[in-house]
């Protein structure tokens, strides 16, 4: 299949115009200029398939349900919005419930429904519990951790830990030895405690700023420690609710490591933190054990002002990043594509990201306003640009 695009972004380069050829489930060739033969499809913008490494559900389904039907419903919704690689996130749960959830999602991972599991809890700070059940939070226990890793059978990709919990540094070491990415989040840790966690092997900051001790000019806390270490990938929920646009711009500037400035940024990872209400109407939902109320697309723990995940999809957080980057259009596209595809895939070791020969044939076709008109997953259209419908871009 041959696709011609007015603008083609590979993950590292911008080609205008450009073309991409796929064979079966892989990318065969990519080039600039007019395609070498008549194209099967034409597009305004083509980007690699989005990679969401922090998502709890969608289409009314929560990954904690552990059923194939719930997993398929949530994945289907996010695929229609351009996510071709998805890590299912679980919130804090009781030991036996968590073990059951991991066992089920490991089966879904090995069946190809999802690309792995992220444990966001239970080893978090009750002071920064967010939409987690604080009564179920606990210190990392080596026996429980090993049971979970055994049940995951290689499917557990990332675990978020609060560094101040007793046994947290040992748990981070055990996770990294097992090939699992350790992340810092939902934490009241100080600066030095966070530095110690990074030295122990933590390489991701879970939704930076959210559910973290804030920055103090005499007590910098975890945010500054995560920002200043180039080994750390920084998750940001750019949904227009969790962060002010100025914070997104500041993090991009302060964490840029490439010689080309912001477009060389390789540390920011855009995530949705989407929960079950994503793609659905306002109303009452569940996030793990917590009751959640969604009003005007904003999810909060019922009866409180505490944000409970998001109702965003990856195309929405991608558009936000482009719109609010403060860069010119091309630089903004290059930066946002990297943050929505290459960076999260690299951070979790999820294979070869981007549109290059030999990579999976995962791509998103966008219109000039960056709305999804097509999603190609492993060489098959989930949403075909020929249908003329595309995803529902009304999702925030």
Q: Per-residue pLDDT tens for 185-208?
A: 999 999 999 999 999 999 999 999
Q: How confident is the model at residue 391 (pLDDT cuts 50, 70, 90)?
A: low
Helix axis angle for 168-177 and 142-152, nearest 10°, is 30
Is 131 part of any known ligand binding site? yes
Q: Which of 62, 239, 273, 362 is catalytic?
A: 273
Contacts of 337 (CB under 8 A, 6+ apart): 9, 11, 47, 48, 318
Question: Is the Cβ–Cβ distance between 390 and 367 less than 8 Å?
Answer: yes
Q: Average pLDDT, whole number, for the chain?
A: 94
Query: Are the C-beta atoms of residues 300 and 308 closer than 8 Å to each other?
Result: yes
Is residue 327 within 8 Å of residue 333, measured between CB atoms?
no
Q: Is the pLDDT of residue 264 over 70?
A: no
Average pLDDT over residues 159-188: 98
Say if CB 371 and CB 72 are below 8 A apart: no
The mean pLDDT of 25-53, rounded to a whole number, is 97
Interval 10-28 mean pLDDT: 97
Confirm whether residue 210 is marked as ligand binding.
Answer: yes
> What is the pLDDT at residue 261?
42
| Between 258 and 25, the higher pLDDT residue | 25
Asked if residue 309 belongs to a known ligand binding site, the reply is: yes
Give the CA-trace dihedral at 220, 222, 136, 140, to 10 degrees. Answer: -120
Q: Output DSSP code: residue 213.
A: P
Name which of 128, 83, 88 is nearest 276 in CA terms: 88
Sketch out the chain's domains with CATH numbers. Answer: 2-47+358-383 (2.30.40.10), 50-348 (3.20.20.140)
| Residue 95 exposed, middle or buried by CB count within 10 Å (0-12, 13-18, 19+) | middle
Amino acid 121: pLDDT: 94
274 appears as a binding residue in the annotation: no
Average pLDDT for residues 371-375, to the nearest whole number? 97
Query: What is the per-residue DSSP string for 127-151?
Result: GG-TTS-GGG-----HHHHHHHHHH
Q: Tell me the pTM.
A: 0.95
Number of Cβ within a 10 Å radius of residue 169: 21
Q: Is residue 2 over pLDDT 50? A: yes
- Is 110 flagged in the annotation as binding? no
If pLDDT is split at 50, 70 and 90, which confidence band does 88 have? Answer: very high
How far apart CA 316 and CA 322 sit, in angstroms, is 10
Banded pLDDT at 170 (limits 50, 70, 90):
very high
* For residues 212-223, average pLDDT: 97
Q: What pLDDT does 387 receive?
A: 78
Residue 28: per-residue pLDDT: 97
Task: Tell me whether residue 386 is one of the annotated catalytic residues.
Answer: no
Asked if 243 and 236 count as a contact pair (C-beta separation under 8 A), the reply is yes
Task: State residue 260's pLDDT score.
Answer: 40
Determine if residue 118 is labeled as part of a ligand binding site.
Answer: no
Known binding residue 218? Answer is yes
242 is in an annotated binding site: yes
Select the more confidently predicted residue: 199 or 391: 199
- Region 11-23: what's the mean pLDDT? 97
**DSSP-derived 3-state class of residue 40:** coil
Rounded distance, CA 174 to CA 177, Å? 5
Residue showing tokens 């978020």: 160
- Taking only the tens place, the pLDDT of each residue in 239-254 is 999 999 999 999 999 8
> If you average pLDDT over residues 345-351, what whole number do you get?
94
Task: Single out the residue of 158, 102, 143, 109 nearest to residue 271, CA to CA.
Answer: 158
Share of the chain above pLDDT 70, in %: 96
- Written as six digits, the tokens of 381 are 């259209």
Residue 388: pLDDT band with limits 50, 70, 90: low
State the pLDDT confidence band at 87, using cuts at 50, 70 and 90: very high
**pLDDT of 396:** 32
């Amino acid at each position: 299949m041959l696709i011609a695009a007015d603008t083609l972004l590979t993950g590292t380069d911008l080609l205008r115009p450009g073309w991409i050829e796929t064979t079966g489930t892989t990318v065969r060739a990519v080039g600039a200029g007019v395609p070498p033969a008549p194209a099967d499809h034409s597009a305004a913008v083509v980007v690699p398939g989005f990679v969401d490494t922090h998502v709890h559900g969608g289409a009314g389904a929560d990954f904690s349900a552990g059923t194939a039907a719930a997993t398929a419903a949530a994945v289907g919704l996010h695929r229609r919005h351009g996510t071709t690689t998805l890590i299912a996130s679980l919130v804090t749960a009781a030991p036996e419930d968590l073990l059951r959830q991991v066992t089920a999602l490991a089966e879904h991972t090995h069946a190809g429904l999802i690309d792995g599991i992220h444990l966001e809890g239970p080893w978090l700070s009750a002071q920064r519990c967010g939409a987690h059940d604080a009564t179920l939070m606990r210190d990392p226990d080596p026996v429980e951790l090993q049971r979970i890793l055994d049940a995951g059978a290689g499917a557990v990709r990332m675990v978020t830990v609060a560094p101040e919990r007793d046994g947290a540094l040992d748990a981070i070491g055990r996770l990294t030895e097992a090939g699992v990415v350790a992340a810092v989040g939902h934490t009241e840790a100080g600066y030095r405690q966070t530095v110690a966690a990074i030295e122990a092997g933590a390489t991701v900051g879970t939704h930076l700023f959210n559910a973290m001790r804030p920055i103090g000019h005499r007590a910098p806390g975890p945010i500054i420690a995560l920002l200043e270490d180039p080994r750390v990938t920084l998750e940001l929920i750019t949904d227009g609710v969790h962060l002010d646009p100025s914070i997104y711009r500041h993090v991009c500037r302060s964490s840029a490591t490439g010689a080309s400035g912001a477009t060389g940024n390789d540390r920011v990872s855009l995530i949705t933190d989407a929960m079950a209400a994503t793609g659905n109407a306002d109303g009452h939902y569940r996030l793990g054990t917590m009751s959640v109320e969604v009003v005007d697309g904003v999810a909060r723990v019922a009866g409180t002002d505490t944000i409970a995940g998001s109702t965003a999809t990856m195309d929405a957080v991608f558009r936000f990043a482009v719109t609010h980057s403060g860069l010119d259009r091309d630089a903004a596209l290059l930066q946002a594509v990297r943050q929505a595809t290459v960076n999260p895939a690299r951070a979790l070791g999820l294979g070869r990201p981007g549109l290059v020969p030999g990579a999976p044939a995962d791509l998103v076709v966008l219109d000039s306003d960056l709305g999804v008109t097509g999603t190609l997953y492993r060489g098959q259209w989930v949403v075909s640009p020929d249908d003329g419908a595309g995803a529902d871009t009304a999702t925030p």
